[in-house]
Amino acid sequence: MNEIKNYGYIDNLSLSEYIAIPVYIIIIFLISYYIEYKNVKTNPLYRYYSRAVALKVLGAVCFCLVYIFVYKGGDTISYFESSRALTNLMEVRPGDFIKVYLEKGSIENYYLFDGRDSGYPWLNMFIEPKSFFLVKILVPFMFLSFQSYVLCTILLSWASFTGIWRLFLIFTDVYKKATFHLAISILFIPSVVFWGSGILKDTVTLSASCWFIYALYYAFIVKTKRFKYFIILLISGYIMFAIKPYILFALLPGVIIWILYDKLLIIKNKLLKYSFIPLVYVLSFGGGYLVLSSIGDFDIKNLVNEASIKQADLKRAEYKGNSFDIGSYTTVDGAVSLSPKAIIAGLYRPYIWESKNIVMFLSGLENSVYLGLTIFILSRIRFLRLFKILFDNPLILFCLSYSILFALIIGLSTSNFGALVRFKIAFLPEFLSALVILNYYMKNKKITKMEEPEKKRG
């Protein structure tokens, strides 16, 4: 057997892949069309299902082609090659595989691999716990794809679609009259389709966050089949915590307000009620931090220090002008002072004129739409009415809370446009949905409260 080597790039596809890729895509589309046909009569929302899946698969194929023929490598290839080594180890030495799979990456376990039978995972992917967690997740997809990078990407993308679809279902359950615009803002966002379809941490955490919100909605808002949804909450929460714990940190304040909203309605005095919500937000922010700190290495000072180091690293000359600078900081106070710039960067950058290549240009074009829509809404809606809509619709409040806090985190920790456009897909469906719903209410001035959810679905 020839030695199995890692190169960090894939420069071509095999003949078998050229044959298998269309076959897999046809099978996926047939299954999706069957799911749509089976459900569309009872739930008209499924008329979007097969088209959304088709776009998701197309996004996966385009992602692979860009990384194979344009970027010629990247972390996505390293994740794939590391998982390939882990999959080979399971085939040749199952006992060693179980030991490696159940334990954290270590130098001792690294030498359980060999170049002839299994190949080696990338050491940085193996030692770093968050990266190795994704490597482990890829193993079943490696088997189903016969260790083809493109097929593995397509299958992971298809599996991740289950989360984004469920986010669409709950948003349209609350805002039934905005279905078409919500479909566009959740299922058909170009950057989310592209960056959320590759072998990346962002693909997995995006799906997990959507599953988390979906389970939260049915467990605490609709209050049905709670045991089932608590299990989904635990699994999706664990995945986010294992890969990107700051996503949970960004989710928690808005989530707690959303859950407690029914309790806030009991307060009859409007001034007291509206002033109580910011208090709940601050307390939930602190509570979320304490919870994450108690179950893992999550210290705000360490996070700020790591973010500042990462930000400085991404400004290096090697990134060829794809970096931006909101200012430097080394303390929590310094980070707070840069918060407005960080939020703007997280939400709306790169701008079109900052684009250095076609991928960044398309992202800049998309960001221009978000910025234009934001300005349009804020310029036409009175502050008091905006305030009333937000506090009468906890789902919008949750979406904006999550989006702005997440934008702050990535704006402070990221100074490279390539990384920024990937990271921000985690909140784009919620952010754009909030803008769409605000625009909907602006046009329908008599409607200010959310519609009642249908408890029969779930």
Residues 276 and 407 in one domain: yes
User: Given this model, what pLDDT does residue 458 score?
Assistant: 45
CA 47 – CA 374 distance, rounded (Å): 29
Q: What is the CA radius of gyration of the chain?
A: 23
Residues 264 and 412 in one domain: yes
Confirm whether 368 is domain-assigned.
Answer: yes
Last residue of a domain, one of 158, 193, 227: 158
Average pLDDT, the chain: 85
92-148 pLDDT, tens per residue? 999 999 999 999 889 999 999 988 888 999 999 999 999 999 999 999 999 999 999
If asked whether residues 150 and 249 sit together in one domain, one would say no
Both 254 and 123 in one domain: the answer is no
> For 322, which DSSP code?
-
8 Å CB contact between 403 and 224:
no
C-alpha to C-alpha distance for 246 and 125, rounded to whole angstroms: 20
pLDDT at residue 317 above 50? no
Question: Among 113, 143, 158, which residue terminates a domain?
Answer: 158
Identify whether the C-beta of residue 28 lies closer than 8 Å to the C-beta of residue 54.
no
pLDDT tens digits for range 269-300:
767 766 777 777 777 666 665 655 555 555 55
Is position 208 within any domain? no
Domain assignment present for residue 207? The answer is: no
The residue range of the domain holding 111 is 15-158
At 455, the pLDDT band (50, 70, 90 cuts) reads very low
Query: Are 49 and 152 found together in one domain?
Result: yes
> Is 239 a domain residue?
no
Look up tokens 């299994």; give the residue: 118
Encoded tokens for 170: 């709950």
Among 100, 130, 158, where does a domain finish? 158
The reply to whether 337 falls in a domain is yes
From 340, 363, 361, 352, select the one nearest 412 (Cα to Cα): 340
User: Is the domain of 249 the same as that of 148?
Assistant: no
Which residues make beta-bridge pairs with 416?
323
Q: Could you tell me the pLDDT band of residue 212, with boundaries at 50, 70 and 90? A: very high
In a domain? residue 235: no
Q: Give the pLDDT of residue 448.
A: 47
In sequence order, what are the beta bridge partners of 323? Answer: 416
Q: Does residue 263 share a domain with residue 135?
A: no
pTM: 0.89
Measured in whole angstroms, the distance separating CA 98 from the mean position of its chain's CA atoms is 29
Q: What does the pLDDT look like over 25-60, one tens digit per residue?
A: 999 999 999 999 999 999 999 999 999 999 999 999
Name the residue with higher pLDDT: 204 or 175.
204
Whether 235 has a pLDDT exceeding 50, the answer reads yes
Q: What is the pLDDT of residues 383-437, one digit of tens each?
A: 777 877 887 788 898 999 899 989 988 888 887 888 889 999 999 999 999 999 8
Does 238 map to a domain?
A: no
Please report which helix (H) or strand (E) contains residue 430, including its range.
helix 428-443
Q: Are residues 139 and 278 in the same domain?
A: no
| HSE-up of residue 191 (Cα within 13 Å, Cβ side) | 32
Query: pLDDT by residue (tens digit) across 341-371?
Result: 889 999 998 899 888 888 888 899 999 999 9
Section 228-249 average pLDDT: 93
Domain assignment of residue 342, yes or no: yes
Whether residues 289 and 436 share a domain: the answer is yes
Q: Which of 374, 384, 400, 396 is nearest to 450 (CA)?
A: 396
Judgement on whether residues 329 and 430 belong to the same structural domain of the protein: yes
Q: Look at the chain and report how many structural domains it folds into.
A: 2
pLDDT of residue 47: 96
pLDDT value of position 311? 52
The tokens describing 174, both together, are 């609350």
